[in-house]
Chain A
Amino acid sequence: MARMKFLCDAERCIECNACVTACKNEHDVPWGINRRRVVTINDGKPGERSVSMACMHCTDPPCAAVCPVDCFYVTADAVVLHSKDLCIGCGYCFYACPFGAPQYPRVGNFGTRGKMDKCTYCAGGPEADGTMAEFEKYGANRLAEGKLPLCSEMCSTKSLLSGDGEIIAQIYKERVVKRGYGSGAWGWMTAYREQITV
């Protein structure tokens, strides 16, 4: 089985937000929920960098550890998924997540959060693959159809890569060798406890 990961090559990200749009469209994500976002550091200054970020599908995921109702599970492809039937919308996964991935629709009074929503690596949820019930709760299940997440597939500069960790790390390494520079895979140290060394 593959160990699925995301890799954002910050040297290539042009902050077009196509990944964000592709994700929203593919999964019919409601207004106010963003499974993926592009953050620009030092915007407008020399040496600014943009990074596309979503759930990194961490090794030993912190969200799953702190969840008071244990609604998370990790698939055979190492994709971190959760059950919206079990989630109580407490918001704890957001405090633990290093990448700000969990999103909550605001429902009811106060700041009450609804069921958590996050990047599924285009792999749906606990419902049967490709069913309407699955789509309504978690969006499209591309992985079950043999396709990779749409955000990275749509990426015009191929900055965002998805797939088996070893393969995308190899692609990144080749790029770094060829062009002679690279700032590393953002978030990998935090998510996977490893960095790509060239």
Chain B
Amino acid sequence: MAPLRAVRLILCGLVAACGLLVGVLAVSSHAQQGRIIDPDASAVNEQMLLEQSPRIEGRTVLVSEGAGVLMQPAGRTWRHFHQVLLPWTGAIVILGTILGLGLAYALIGRLRLTAGRSDTKVTRFTAFERLAHWLTATSFVLLALTGLNITFGKVLLLPLIGPEAFTTLSEIAKWVHNFVSFPFVLGLILIAALWMRDNIPRRVDIEWLKQGGGFVKSRHPVAGRFNAGEKLVFWLALAAGAAVAVSGYLLMFPFYVTDILGMQAAQVVHSVVAMLFIALIIGHIYIGTLGTEGAFEAMGTGSVDLNWAREHHALWLQDEIAKGHVSGLPPRSSTRPAE
């Protein structure tokens, strides 16, 4: 019976060993279950993503614009610009310009015609040129007022007329702003085509600026058809016009060509340039009306007094006389000095 006993012993030993092995395995697998597997260790997290990029973007089944942008805290930066920087700097720039011009009027006053009026008129702007100017000018005033309403209306107008009336007004203003942009751009193109040649800077412009332009009463520096000041307004207006037109159409066709950051940037460019543009045009209006005697009729009726032309645009007058464009004065060879 000894061999049988031995077999039994071995079997018992094997079973015990197996049991132990299973037990050990069970314990080790239990230990594995107990250890926490952190699925976030390899996953994206919000803070990390925001440190990498100002926006968190992903994929979405929705097809609407920008829906893939989960978060863009940069909106807070734009808010700061729109609520604080823009209204304050805008108000300072525009009111500062008005104040500066008021001071100029008080100190220098209106620039009178030194030689008084003559009987002769010189044609300065054709009917078509005036049409181009007034098309741009009317559009500009409408765009400026409706645009300023977006920035300042809430503070200045809303408390006065109440929310319902202000919404109606603002909605109309929005439509006017959108539609009037087209005649404005047309006007800019016409102005550019008509006057670009005469606005190319020349050497006399430097001398004109050195002599203090039109602001020094005693001096009348010579100028061609447009003096350096007018040329400055021309080029600044074209540049600002192009900038507001491009940024404006980006805003008008939201998300057609750009993303959220592009839209915010377009709004910043549009509003900043527009504020400066308004200040520039306020200056332009002052010089062309109150500031200079005999200037407004150039754009009003199209012709200016001979003495006005002589005092402000001597070189241009010489050319006009030489071409025989001035009635009452015979054409003669140009006595223009070499530049």
Contact = CB atoms under 8 A, between A and B. Distances in A.
Interface residues of B, number: 58
B78 A183 contact: no
A41 interface: yes
B56 interface: yes
Interface stretch (A108-116, A141-149, A152-160, A167-175): A108-116
B59 A43 contact: yes
A51 B70 contact: yes
Contact of B75 (A70, A71, A98, A181): A98
A70 B208 CA distance: 50
Nearest to A56: B71
Nearest to B168: A88
Contacts of A112: 178
Given A97-B75, A98-B73, A42 B44 contact: yes
Contacts of A49: 43-45
Contacts of B29: none
Nearest to B76: A62
A40 B59 contact: yes
B44 A39 contact: no
B38 A181 contact: yes
Nearest to A46: B42
A47 B38 CA distance: 11
Contact of B154 (A11, A68, A189): A68
A187 B47 CA distance: 10
Contacts of A37: 60, 62, 67
A48 interface: yes
Interface string A68-97: 111100000000000001111111101111
Given A49-B43, A49-B44, A96-B79, A69 B58 contact: no
A17 B67 CA distance: 14
B220 interface: no
A190 B62 CA distance: 23
Given A42-B44, A48-B44, A111-B253, A180 B171 contact: no
Given A41-B56, A66-B83, A98-B73, A20 B255 contact: no
A181 B36 contact: yes
Interface residues of A, number: 58
B254 A91 contact: yes
B277 to A, nearest CB: 19
B254 to A, nearest CB: 5
B59 A47 contact: no
B75 A20 contact: no
Given A34-B67, A69-B170, A100 B40 contact: no
A39 to B, nearest CB: 4
A135 interface: no
B166 interface: yes
Contacts of B260: 94-95, 100
A32 B38 CA distance: 38
A182 interface: yes
A99 interface: yes
A163 interface: no
Contacts of B59: 39-40, 43
Nearest to A44: B59
Contacts of B61: 17, 38
Given A85-B164, A95-B78, A180 B60 contact: no
Given A95-B75, A98-B72, A111-B256, A41 B38 contact: no
Top 6 nearest A-B pairs by Cβ distance?
A: A47-B43, A180-B36, A41-B58, A47-B42, A39-B70, A39-B58
5 contacts: A68-B149, A70-B154, A95-B82, A113-B254, A180-B36
Interface of A: 11, 17, 20, 32-34, 37-43, 46-51, 53, 62, 65-71, 85-92, 94-100, 103, 110-113, 179-184, 186-187, 189-190
Given A87-B167, A95-B267, A111-B253, 12 more contacts: A39-B67, A49-B43, A69-B158, A70-B158, A88-B171, A95-B82, A98-B76, A100-B69, A110-B178, A111-B255, A183-B45, A184-B47
